[in-house]
Amino acid sequence: MPFLLTISRPAQRDGVCYNKPGSRSATVFVTISRARGALGCRLAGRGDVAVKGRLLYSKVYLTLAVLAVFCAGCGVREMEVGNKGKQGEPLPAESPAISHGRKEKDKEQEDYYQDYQEKGGKVALVGDVGSHAEDSYNQAALEGVRSYAQAAGISYSYYSAGRDSREAYEEAVLYAIENQAEVVVCAGPHFEQAVGTLQEKYGEVNFLLLDGVPRDKEGEGIPIAPNVHCIAYHEEEAGYLAGYMAVLEGCRKLGFIGGERLPSVERYGFGYLKGIDDAAASLGITGQVSVEYWYGGSFLPSKEIEKTARKWYQDGTEIIFACGGSLYQSVLKAAEKTGGLLIGADVDQSGVSGLFLTSAMKGIQSSVIFALDELFAGGGSWPDGMAGQVMDYSAEKNCIKLPMAEGAWRFQKVSMKEYFQVLVDLNTGKIPILGEGEGMPETEITVIFYNEGREKAGEPEETQKSGKE
């Protein structure tokens, strides 16, 4: 690993923070402690710096970005099959909410100050039926909660809905509240109705809702209460980057398998198509590029998803964007049997397998850290501009990117210079992807849409022709 950010809580004596002997070393070392009612911060080796948490965070983020660019150019590791990380399993359906413990070795390494609690944490992350060990969405949210909680000396817990239903998601949130959670971080749009139902009843609890807004039991949007803050991401930008770079890398037959047809998944897919189309146009090869596109209807692994992915690979598809929860596990099985490649979603999934060419990342961990910092720096209430509001995270705010660390940057034909040029164009708004409320983009490439309403990926529902008539 070329660099490491360690955020740890220092020992304190007479109101002064000291680096505790035995703390893990880091290229960038940041300590955050609760002092005199506000967050006190220090950059190791640079003296005491009394600044508000969000200012320090911005500086650290920029430093990490520079380090990532520098280190990513040190070399590209050849992709290897079989480098799979641990894969999570669905949780037992009989339990509405389950607290996730960890092995003793993990606790020693990740929780030096033992802020994690099986239940009763001041900050609670509530996830869906996927495990936090999936190298995906829930894990990224957990890492955000863990990083902030351990840095600030705040207890935290992790709970998960035991089954995929509206009732189970609400029960999981209630379980967290009943176990003294003062802040409930809800990971994903499945919690929209739960937050909508509970936001006013539990006005003393602060909610952080990722990828959604509060809704009533009928699914209709409702006003956001002041104890709720919502985070939205520009997934279309991440999808665009992944699709564009995949074409520059040489892919001509591509695929997209999404989970449930939720707005965030759609934005990933629409951006992916737009990126593929723009890259093909820039190379003058629109007639040679095609995409197969299907929503599998679930974020969990399934034999149907594996079967569909395997058929696509066998028919010549070179790479599939596996978008949503742990469904990538089924696509990965198909890729291992056929020699295909994948694109990951939400977080860097290069550590899962050498078959991941890249990942469309949207900054879940960093956005959670930022939001919690603002909440606690404001005395435990959402500040103006966040209370009852939705905040967008985009490429312009350095939250959308592809992994660039050594070993994660696996492009052989695409230079970082080319990647950064596209990223800069996104940051400055030079590349229009999706306007407000826009749906599937118009493309010149061939796109085969499958009927996501059926149980199986059968006959194409519609084919968008390549080339101009």
- 224, 297, 243: which is closest to 450 by C-alpha? 297
Highest mean pLDDT among 16-20, 393-397, 405-409, 427-431: 405-409
Identify whether 10 is part of a domain: yes
Say if residue 52's pLDDT is above 80.
Answer: no
DSSP string across 30-99: EEEEEETTEEEEEETTS-EE---HHHHHHHHHHHHHHHHHHHHTT--PPP-TT-------PPPTT-SEEE
How many C-beta atoms lie closer than 10 Å to residue 96's C-beta?
19
Identify whether 319 is part of a domain: yes
CA–CA dist 32, 2 (Å, integer) = 23
pLDDT band at residue 433 under the 50/70/90 scheme: confident
The string of pLDDT tens digits covering residues 313-325 is 999 999 999 998 8
Enumerate the β-bridge partners of residue 42: 31, 48
Identify whether 399 is part of a domain: no
CA–CA dist 321, 328 (Å, integer) = 9
- 37, 7, 10, 8: which is closest to 380 by C-alpha? 37
Say if residue 2's pLDDT is above 90.
Answer: no
Question: With pLDDT > 70 as the criterion, what percentage of the chain qualifies?
Answer: 70
Say if residue 360's pLDDT is above 80.
Answer: yes
Same domain for 221 and 159:
yes
Highest mean pLDDT among 63-77, 122-136, 144-158: 144-158
- In three-state secondary structure terms, 370 is helix
Question: With pLDDT > 90 as the criterion, what percentage of the chain qualifies?
Answer: 62
Same domain for 283 and 204:
no
Are 294 and 256 in contact by the 8 Å Cβ rule? The answer is yes
Say if residue 185's pLDDT is above 50.
Answer: yes
Domain total of the chain: 3
Same domain for 305 and 198:
no
The string of pLDDT tens digits covering residues 395-423 is 988 889 999 999 999 999 999 999 999 99
Tell me the chain's radius of gyration from C-alpha atoms. 22
Same domain for 414 and 280:
yes
The pLDDT score that the predictor gives to residue 437 is 60
The pLDDT score that the predictor gives to residue 135 is 58
Domain extent for 379: 97-234+365-393
The string of pLDDT tens digits covering residues 119-141 is 999 999 999 876 555 557 888 99
Identify whether 82 is part of a domain: no
Same domain for 188 and 264:
no
Same domain for 344 and 202:
no
Q: Which of 72, 88, 108 is the last residue of a domain?
A: 72
The pLDDT score that the predictor gives to residue 128 is 86
Same domain for 345 and 199:
no
Same domain for 227 and 128:
yes
**Where do the DSSP E strands lie in 110-161?**
123-127, 156-161
pLDDT band at residue 339 under the 50/70/90 scheme: very high
The pLDDT score that the predictor gives to residue 461 is 56
Enumerate the β-bridge partners of residue 464: 447
Same domain for 51 and 106:
no
CA–CA dist 387, 381 (Å, integer) = 8
β 460-464/319-323 pair status: unpaired
The pLDDT score that the predictor gives to residue 33 is 36
Higher pLDDT, 453 or 296: 296
Say if residue 38's pLDDT is above 70.
Answer: no
Enumerate the β-bridge partners of residue 39: 34
CA–CA dist 213, 192 (Å, integer) = 6
Higher pLDDT, 3 or 228: 228
Highest mean pLDDT among 12-26, 178-192, 451-465: 178-192
Q: Residue 425 maps to which CATH number?
A: 3.40.50.2300
Higher pLDDT, 308 or 131: 308
Higher pLDDT, 469 or 297: 297
The pLDDT score that the predictor gives to residue 110 is 59
Say if residue 58's pLDDT is above 80.
Answer: no
Please name the amino acid found at residue 212: G
The pLDDT score that the predictor gives to residue 391 is 95
Identify whether 421 is part of a domain: yes
Contacts of 54 (CB under 8 A, 6+ apart): 370, 373, 374, 377
pTM of the model: 0.76
Same domain for 314 and 441:
yes
Burial class of residue 418 (count of CB atoms within 10 Å of its CB; 0-12, 13-18, 19+): middle
What's 398-467 look like in SS3? Answer: CCCECCCCCCCCCCCCCCHHHHHHHHHHHHCCCCCCCCCCCCCCCCCCEEEEECCCCCCCCCEEEEECCC
Same domain for 442 and 415:
yes
- 251, 232, 244: which is closest to 433 by C-alpha? 244
Identify whether 65 is part of a domain: yes
CA–CA dist 211, 323 (Å, integer) = 14
Question: Poorest-confidence range of 53-57, 214-218, 296-300?
Answer: 53-57
Identify whether 309 is part of a domain: yes
Same domain for 459 and 330:
yes
Identify whether 56 is part of a domain: yes
Higher pLDDT, 342 or 92: 342
Please name the amino acid found at residue 295: Y
Region 163-181 average pLDDT: 95
Say if residue 112's pLDDT is above 80.
Answer: no
Q: Would you state the structure tokens that stand for residue 375, as one six-digit string?
A: 């909440």
DSSP string across 179-216: TT-SEEEEESGGGHHHHHHHTTTTTTSEEEEES---B-
Say if residue 432's pLDDT is above 90.
Answer: no
The string of pLDDT tens digits covering residues 189-214 is 999 999 999 999 999 999 999 999 99
Residues in the chain: 469
CA–CA dist 363, 357 (Å, integer) = 19
- 74, 55, 90, 109: which is closest to 1 by C-alpha? 74
Region 73-81 average pLDDT: 33
